[in-house]
Amino acid sequence: MKDSSVIPLRSVPSVAASPKQSLRRRVVARPTQADIDYHAQLQGELDAFLRSDPLLREVSVPSSDPLKTLQLIRERLAHQAVILDFRRREDDKYGGFDSPQIVSKLITCLKELAALESRIQEIRVSKDMQVIDLHSESMQKLFQIFVQHIRTAAEAVLPPELKDLFFNKLETEFKDWEENTENALR
């Protein structure tokens, strides 16, 4: 007797999905109101953080002091170096494999910190050595104002014959004043 419930496999219609179709439904996730509120709160916290960040405040001012800016960057780099060192130690405790990458980042951070320290020191030295350009336009104007005040005072107190003698002597004394002043400032 032939069992009618058993049919050959080749005669069963294919139920497998074609490669173009998937049996899984594709779900497009739309943000919920909780997601929107969370991201709005996160953006508000980020804005508050950016407003309170001393480095961003210093850099945003066009006439900011470069020494102060470099000191803030140095502080930020030192903070990051400490965080990296902490992560390296924690990674070593638990046998992590990221330790070489963290050490590499730490070394880079410390190199940058050393270069920044060197630059800060250069700026401090250059600030201590005030450079005066005696040939600059502003210095020449300052000298003219100074001579004009001397001329006004001399005209007020000296008789005409002494006034001419005084200005001839003054002109002789100030003949090479820029070079003499540069030599005195060295």
- Residues 146-160: tens digit of each pLDDT: 888 888 888 888 888
pTM: 0.44
Quick check: 99 and 92 in contact, CB under 8 A?
A: yes
> How far apart (Å, rounded) are the C-alpha atoms in residues 170 and 150?
10
Span 61-88, pLDDT tens digits = 776 677 788 888 888 888 888 888 888 8
pLDDT for residue 41: 92
Q: Is the pLDDT of residue 21 over 70?
A: no
Q: Whole-number mean pLDDT of the chain?
A: 78
Burial of 53 (0-12, 13-18, 19+ CB in 10 A): middle
